[in-house]
Structure 1
Amino acid sequence: MTIAPQDGTVAPPPPDPAASPTPLYPDNRVKRHLSELFRLALPVTIARLGMLIMSVVDTIVVGNYDSAGLAYLNVAHAPFTSLMVTGIGLLTGVMILTSHAKGREDWQEAGSVWRYAMPYTILIGLLFTFLTWQAEWLFVVTGQPDDIATEAGHLAIILSIGMPAALIYTTCAFFLEGLQRPLPGMIVMIIANLINLVLDYGLVYGAFGLPELGAEGAAWTSSVIRWTMALILLGYVLVMKGHDQYGIRNGFAGWWRGSRDARHLGYAAGASQGMETSAFAAMQLFAGRLGVIAAASYGIAMTMLALMFMVALGLASATSVRVGIAYGRRDRPDMALAGWIGLLTTMIVMFGLSIPLYLFPGGVSHLFTQDINVIATTVSVLVLMPIIFPTDGGQNAAISALRGAGDKWAPTVLHLVSYIFVMIPAGYYLTFERDMGVRGLFWGIVIASLVAVCGLAIRFAIVSRRAIPAYVARS
């Protein structure tokens, strides 16, 4: 068993020189990191994409059923998504500390990270369920039209039922990813998407003998699927091969104290992600003030941005694990290399993914709606994606590298500046003062993403030059 030093981090024993691998030449190190990055990132990306593909299916099915229903569902997702992503950020420490334990080959410590995190996960889930349940007042005070406030508030209540499940799934997935075992999470996500496709269509349109519920049917489908995913992955962790080695069934006694390091890492990550998603939710509410067409167009464009962002998130999560493992074995040069490869690879991949949207914005828009007014507005913002995709994806990779290296609050401050003090004012000014409409909101995103990726990259350059703290053993 190990103990945290005075700075609160958990450290491995000094590496055994006799067990150290033969040093690699720089080009081999790069190849190794790229290989490991994509090996881990592929299933993680599929799992992250699956989370959003369900929302994309909701958007397509509801958008083709009713444009007003699409606007209601998009607005309802604003507080739900903001709180869910905040919760995911609060649980980020599970993946980071698990990867640190893997780097030290301390399997009991890795298992205790998961055990201590589970009660904390349920506590957060119940709190965020209550807050999402009360979302209608937020729509009223932010000036949403009466019909949007009422209908979106009703949908938010339905979505809130799936909140605890989303976070239970996340904790289990983060634990497995920290161990570099992401395949179970990917498989569960694929199964969930197949079920979602059938159930979503059935409940929205009233097919297969199911009731016709419109946008409400999509909301119910989301909550049912989230609980299905959570229970399946939770069951897997409890019975997985090697669960005795990890002490998975050793109980939850002392979970609050035991989860301290994971919680402290999560507080910073949760604040960071919460501010970012809240800022994007504010932009959604700005779009709602412009009317149903603007809200629907913003929702479609953000769905595409979020869909591709899941690719960046998969690469970023893999970057965090690779950096965390190097940090756990106190290999600073390898930690720095892992971070820079993750950042540059993510930006290149994201730029490539933006090209089809730039070249065929009309075709993409037609997938979501047949309303010519919504299509025209959506096309005007999709052409900005070659700027937004690389910078937004790059900032996520950079912040994940910093989290893997144990950096807590500096990335949060940079997110605060970029998304609260830059994006929201810029988006408001360009949209309402310069009369740019929805396009002004996305130019605000462009500006904020550039600020974020530059600031976070500079921060990683500083952190990656520092010595990794020494560790002591606990009796």
Structure 2
Amino acid sequence: MTTPHNGMMPDISPQPLYPHNRVKRHLSELFRLALPVVIARIGMLIMSVVDTIIVGNYDSSSLAYLNIAHAPFISLMITGFGLLIGIMIMTSHAIGRNNPKAAGQVWRACFPYGVILGFGLAVLAWQSKWIFILSGQPGAIIEHSTELAHILALGMPAALIYISCSFFMEGLQRPLPGMMLMVAANVVNLILDYGLVYGVWGMPELGAAGAAWTSTIIRWLMAGTMLAYVLLMRDHVLFGLRDGFANWWHHSRDIRSMGYAAGASQGMETAAFSTMQLFAGRISIMAAASYGITMTILSLMFMFALGLASATSVRVGIAYGRRDRADMALAGWIGLLTTMGVMFCLSLPLYFFPAWVAALFSEDAVVIAGTSGLLLLMPIIFPTDGGQNAAISALRGTGDKWAPTVLHMFSYICVMIPAGYYLAFVRDLGVAGLFWGIVIASLVAVSGLAMRFRIVSGRELPSYP
């Protein structure tokens, strides 16, 4: 099948294929969609990795301050991303129905929502100091991390403007623009980050604050570029992208409803991981640095899972949109199993060469030793954590809202936090106990969500009114 002249991607109608051909088709489409999304998502984390490497080699204490400052900011930003996930899912449903005008209306309805949401979350991120105080952080961390949190908060609206446009393009099965923009942003980030942290090339030496300012500047550049691309794309008339934002609140009702569930799920998961970061800060500054480095590596590799999960959601969503239950189920299971397999393979270099990887992020022997021990758990954490994300994305693609959210929140709020606290402080395992808590929670999450998808994918799909 050739690509239509309107630019929409192929494979949106039922195809009478034999089972092995259907599997091959799903795998092909999964990786075709996932690869640009993976690169784009990795690009988001590579900026954090660059921050961690540059600031970690500049000063270990500054790295701890930056990691603590990122905890509430990332939690709020990921919550915002979750609240907007309906853009990608509902766009894919419209594409499954071969209705480009409906797809365009999804974006026009949700873009103003994303802007308002971005400024609201920025206000919350600015108030991070009380979180540092309530969590019992040392005075030095409270002072320096609050300053960094203020800088990061200025970039929150830009992050949500960018993601609202990016989710729309991914729902259209056009992830390449987001990927290319992210690659360019990382080149700029590397140069500006190094210059502002160390004070080279005529730039001021700002230390960790330089990394925070770089992140904020890059986010605004990306937001403006991605918005311009959406409005100027060649077939914007087909989607009605310039038809205005009238009645956007009414038109975004179903999309917002889906986002409330996803936002609660992602926000609570990220908040739970941020709580673990704060636990690490209570152990020691070196523990906070080791935890931060390990989580940066985990987050970086998790972008592979997130890209595959996003592609899974789109594939499931398109099959759901054309009411093909068998193809929807197949897309979900292929996405889940493929994600777990890829993540296990990615964990092996960290398991066999932990000290070498840790040394990339710090020159401190204590930090390297602590991080090396944590990396040995990655062959368990990677596939289970990645698998739960693929499973919940498959469920989102079917329109399932609150059941996966409850399962997700139970795993990370009711299981991970108590288990991590108990193992770290009561059993005195330190930062390693925090990661064993993550292992337990991820196993619970992937098992529960997989069972839920089996139930949902076995039901008859509702017909359109």
**Fold match by TM threshold 0.5:** yes
Render the CA deviation track for 1:152-187: whole Å, top value 9, x for unaligned: 011000000110101111010000000000000000
Q: How does 1:11-90 map to 2 (within 5 A)?
A: 22-90=15-83
- Which of the residues 285, 291, 296 maps onto 1:298? 291
State the secondary structure of the residue aligned to 1:368.
Answer: coil
The match for 1:3 is: none
Paired amino acid for 2:272: A
- TM-score of the aligned structures, taking structure 2 as reference length: 0.97
Counterpart CA distance in 1 for 2:231 and 2:464 is: 31
**Contact 2:13–2:322 (8 Å) recurs in 1:** no
Instruction: Please name the residue that 1:462 is paired with.
Output: 455
Per the TM alignment, residue 241 of structure 1 is displaced from its structure 2 partner at its CA by 1.2
Alignment match, 1:378: 371
Partner of 1:437: 430
Give the aligned partner of residue 240 of structure 1: 233
1:49-448 pair list within 5 angstroms: 49-448=42-441
**Inter-partner Cα distance in structure 2 for 1:334 and 1:216:** 49
- Between the aligned partners of 1:91 and 1:142, the Cα distance in structure 2 is 29
**Cα-to-partner distance string for 1:43-84 (whole Å, 9 max, x where unaligned):** 000000000000000000000000000000000000000000
How far did residue 468 of structure 1 move?
1.1
Identical residues among aligned pairs (%): 71
Counterpart-to-counterpart distance in 1, 2:355 and 2:133: 33
Matched residue count? 454
Task: Encode CA deviations 1:243-285: one digit per residue, 9 max, x unaligned.
Answer: 0110000111101011001100000000000110000000000
Calculate the aligned-residue CA RMSD, in Å: 0.8
Within 1, Cα distance between the matches of 2:156 and 2:258?
21
Residues 166 and 226 in structure 2, CA contact (< 8 A), matched pair in contact too: yes
| Cα separation, 1, equivalents of 2:324 and 2:405 | 25
Change (3 A) 1:126 1:22: closer
Q: 1:20 to 1:321 in 2, by over 3 A?
A: closer
**Unpaired segments ≥5 residues, structure 2:** 1-11
SS in 1 for 2:360: helix
The structural deviation recorded for 1:123 is 1.0
Q: Distance in 1 between matches of 2:99 and 2:160?
A: 25
Q: Structure 1 residue 22: deviation in Å?
A: 4.9
Q: Which amino acid aligns with 2:464?
A: Y
The whole-number CA distance in structure 2 between the counterparts of 1:421 and 1:401 is: 23
- 1:370 partner amino acid: E
Cα distance in 1 between the residues matched to 2:185 and 2:361: 21
Write the deviation string for residues 346-384 of structure 1: whole angstroms up to 9, x where unpaired: 000000000000000000000000000111111111000
Whole-angstrom distance in 2 between the partners of 1:353 and 1:149? 35
Q: Are residues 222 and 20 of structure 1, via their aligned partners in 2, closer, same or farther at CA, if it must alter by over 3 Å?
A: closer
Question: How far apart, in 2, do the equivalents of 1:37 and 1:177 lie?
Answer: 12
Rounded Cα–Cα distance in structure 2 between residues aligned with 1:315 and 1:129: 29
Q: What one-letter code is carried by the residue in structure 1 that aligns with 2:233? A: M
1:13 alignment counterpart? none
- Give distance in 1, aligned partners of 2:13 and 2:137: 61
* TM-score normalised by the chain length of structure 1: 0.95
Whole-angstrom CA distance in 2 between matches of 1:141 and 1:457: 36
SS, match of residue 463 in structure 2: coil
**In structure 1, C-alpha distance between the alignment counterparts of 2:225 and 2:181, rounded to whole Å:** 7
Distance 1:386 1:455 in 2: 20
Residue pair 2:75, 2:270 contacting (<8 A) in 1 also? yes
C-alpha distance in structure 1 between counterparts of 2:304 and 2:165, whole Å:
20
Partner SS, residue 42 of structure 2: helix
Output the CA distance in 2 between the equivalents of 1:141 and 1:271: 22
For 2:409 and 2:14, the matched residues in 1 are separated by 41
How much has 1:21 moved relative to structure 2?
5.1
What is the identity, as a one-letter code, of the residue corresponding to 2:19?
A: P
CA distance in 2, matches of 1:22, 1:124: 40
- Post-superposition offset of 1:20: 6.3
